A and B are shown apart, each in its own frame.
Chain A
Amino acid sequence: MNVGDDKQGARSWRKAYGLALSLFAVEVVFLYLFTIRFS
């Protein structure tokens, strides 16, 4: 993944980044549904 991570660490951090991105996607979907509901 980058300097400073071993293989195990890199895999864990990839999962953490994936989780953060998924949560962001959920936030955008929520905002979109909110827009549709109230506009």
Chain B
Amino acid sequence: MNRLDYLVLIATILAIPLYGLWRTRGSASLGQYLKGDASIRWATIGLSVLATQAGPITFLSMPGQGYESGIGFIQNYFGQPLALIVVCAVFVPIYQRLKVYTAYQYLGERFDQKTQLLGAFLFLVQRGIAAGITIYAPAIVLSALLGWRLNLTIWLAGGLVIIYTVVGGTKIVSITQRYQMIVILVGMAIAFAVAVYRLSPDLSLEHALSVAGKMGKLEAVNFSVDPHKRYTFWSGLIGGFFLALSYFGADQSQVQRYLAGGSLKESRLGLLFNAVVKVPMQFFILLLGAIVFMFYQFEKPPVYFNQPAYQRALESGYGPQLAAVQTQFDDVFTQKRAVIRAFADVSGTERGAAMAKLQELDARARELRNQTKGILTQAGVDPKSKESDYVFITFILQQMPHGLVGLLIAVILCATMSATSAILNALGSTTAIDFYRPLIRPNASDHHYVVAAKALTAAWGLIAIAVASFASLVENLIEAGNILGSVFYGSILGLFLAGFFIRRVSGSPVFFAAVLAQTLVFVLFATTNIGYLWYNFIGCAAVLILAPVLQQTVFRNTEGSAGV
């Protein structure tokens, strides 16, 4: 990175929060601080919802996923449009009618306080840790590649977010997310265009896509019903539906985004915008990874993309072993390039033979990268983050023109800031409204609760930075974040669906059903190796089955309410 890059980076990440602070200057009532105001329109809500979900992992890891495993991951989003329509039709009208600040207030209105506290508690535990991961995941990659100190990177991303989120509340989160998302979309579109432009002159885009397809990178839809296949149309549609329904319907970090407009119409339009654009956006991000893959079929890639870890292994006396692998890797690369160049000129059986040879060489290259990883482990420099997370950022740093490098690093930091601000805003609001107000200071003024919400948002920000600072103690962090969400989301969704759809059930049966369901999920998590997406379904189904059973047996004499 040169001075121009730093200028673009600093200007981009500072300008948006400063503009947001200017737009939200002056004091706000509790309603304005927690829900924004009526001036927030559907486009801002839509971009805000998109930015909250995307986060830095989408823009760092997703192209790496496309590079490594192809674009099949897109199917995980197939349940989302259906879930968003259910949220629009069922969840949003109820939240708007009850004029709640947090989703968990609905549980208090429909059932009782302990059920509200349970829902809020499950959210706080899960999202409190997730906030730290959202800051840590990009910081570890950026600090390694740019030579920044890890703690400085964590504070750069986290500190600025804490300041503006605390000062401006929900309105500033929505406004900044809108412009951060525009920067992200423009940056990624330019990166896509540059990646296509930088493909070898020997290779047209169509030819590149044909070869990438033959190498298994472009299978977007797979209708297989084989449960062992990782990404299929059916698992994405069914598993993805429950995950998205929990996330958009019952996670305060999203609920707060679409309640920001204050009108049913704006909230619904913002969500429907996401139902339409999410799949194409993820498709282009994954396809960008596949195009970067084709680029590195002509331009020699590093044998291991996490170069700082590789350098440390070289300095630790593992040079001879790494050099031996590198020689073999160079040879495989040269052969692969020759086969791809010849691919356009052959036909019929020769093309089939060339393809078989190419797949064999690709498997060999993968094996050599695994060997390198093994040597890095022996050298004690085994990195905590996945190697594929370094693919796209390496491509940016080595292949993009100056200025654009700064913009794309700003994209990653903008994504970190936008996702983190939404989570901190939700954590602060939930703690203030669901715990502080009913349990500690029930009858204070609006101004008192605004101050309390600000203090609690700041406190959660500091907790997130502390989690990010100690996150390196946890192995495989990003996967841990995904598992954590799936372990808790099922029970939370079950509480809400029981409230909406089971009319004759009261608070205590639902509360104990959720506690039992959560315990069941913990036991299954500890004793089996079920795919973690299924925990969403199991936790939710357990609440919906157990609640009526408990109502009819243990809590027979407790009258169930008819629903809100």
Contact = CB atoms under 8 A, between A and B. Distances in A.
Contacts of B93: 2-5
Which of A5, A16, A21, A39 has its CB near the most chain B CB atoms (within 10 A)?
A39
Contacts of B214: 39
Contacts of A37: 213
A21 B212 CA distance: 30
Interface stretch (B135-143, B276-284, B435-443, B444-452): B276-284
A4 B264 CA distance: 8
Interface of A is mostly: helix
Interface of B is mostly: helix
A8 interface: no
B268 A13 contact: yes
A1 B264 CA distance: 14
B219 A35 contact: yes
Contacts of B82: 21, 24
A28 B85 contact: no
B27 interface: no
A23 B276 contact: yes
Nearest to A36: B221
A13 B279 contact: no
A32 B219 CA distance: 8
Interface residues of B, number: 33
A31 B283 contact: yes
A28 to B, nearest CB: 7
Contacts of B96: 4
Which of A13, A20, A23 has its CB near the most chain B CB atoms (within 10 A)?
A20
B283 A20 contact: no
Interface string B209-238: 110111010111110000000000100000
B221 A32 contact: yes
Contacts of B279: 24, 27-28, 31
B81 A35 contact: no
B90 interface: yes
Given A31-B283, A32-B220, A1 B213 contact: no
A27 B75 CA distance: 11
B81 A4 contact: no
A37 B268 CA distance: 36
Given A2-B93, A3-B97, A21-B81, A38 B218 contact: yes
B340 to A, nearest CB: 15
A35 B221 contact: yes
B419 interface: no
A37 B275 CA distance: 26
Nearest to B95: A4
A21 B85 contact: yes
Nearest to A24: B81
A39 B81 contact: no
Interface in A4-18: 4-5, 13, 16-17
Interface in B90-124: 90, 93-94, 96-97
29 contacts: A2-B89, A2-B90, A2-B94, A3-B94, A4-B97, A13-B88, A13-B89, A16-B268, A16-B272, A20-B81, A20-B275, A24-B81, A24-B275, A24-B276, A24-B279, A28-B78, A31-B220, A31-B279, A32-B220, A34-B218, A35-B218, A35-B219, A35-B220, A35-B221, A37-B213, A38-B209, A38-B218, A39-B216, A39-B218
Given A3-B93, A13-B268, 10 more contacts: A2-B93, A5-B264, A21-B81, A21-B82, A24-B81, A24-B279, A28-B233, A35-B220, A38-B209, A39-B218
